[in-house]
Amino acid sequence: MLEVLTGTGLATAAGLNAYIPLLVIGALARWTDLMDTPAGWEWLTNGWVLAVLAVLLALEIVADKVPGVDSVNDIVQTVVRPVAGGIAFGAGSSSQTAVVTDPEAFVESGQWVPIVIGIVLALVVHGAKATMRPVVNVATLGAGAPVASTVEDATSVGLSFAAILAPVLVLVALVGLVIVWLRIRRRRRRGRSPGETSHEVSPPPPAVDVP
């Protein structure tokens, strides 16, 4: 169960930012004893891979905070984030961490299953993020983009570390994300008053001159 929570947290984090959970996995496995990548995922600890991920993360952080550019970036990330989610789930769900001291493989056969699960989770989160960002930009005239992006990055970092160090906290974080998303949806719906569009006053008929 803890392995599933670890993979879920990492895949969800990838839906917000593709590179943060991969960097966390690779860095912790390379320089600490908090995590060991399972067989087949050791490449995440390679120095060149970590360097490329760091550069991509820097570009993502900048692009995602510029109104207009963030929406273009979300289009590009429609492929990248789900792929990162699949990798993160696959590497994290069957890994040996400080919390999971006696892990078993998430599945003994069909290694594609955790990858597909991660892809779906990341795609759902990415879809919610990409849908709500234009709403935030319009409502705040673009001023909310850097704030929303910073919150998303911080959430991705928190989820990544929680998934590895304390997987149970992933449940709390996921519930919180759902609540926040539902509240934003409700406020958006309240902003659309049916009376504003359904009750339109027709212009008076033109006056007719009687001879």
User: What is the SS3 string spanning 57-93?
Assistant: HHHHHHHCCCCCHHHHHHHHHHHHHHHHHHHHHHHHH
Grade residue 17 by pLDDT with cuts at 50, 70 and 90.
very high
List, for residues 151-205, the tens digit of each pLDDT value: 999 999 999 999 998 888 887 877 877 787 777 677 667 665 454 444 444 555 5
Q: pTM of the entire structure?
A: 0.79
What confidence score (pLDDT) does residue 37 get?
81
Nearest-Å Rg of the Cα atoms of the chain is 22
User: Would you list the domain boundaries of the chain?
Assistant: 2-186
Contact between 90 and 111 (Cβ < 8 Å): yes
Q: How far is CA 107 from CA 32, 100, 208, in A?
A: 26, 16, 82
Separation between Cα atoms, residue 69 and residue 90, nearest integer Å: 31
Is the Cβ–Cβ distance between 3 and 139 less than 8 Å? no
pLDDT of residue 114: 81
The whole-angstrom distance between residue 92's C-alpha and the CA centroid of its chain comes to 16
CA proximity to 161, closest of 6, 46, 19: 6
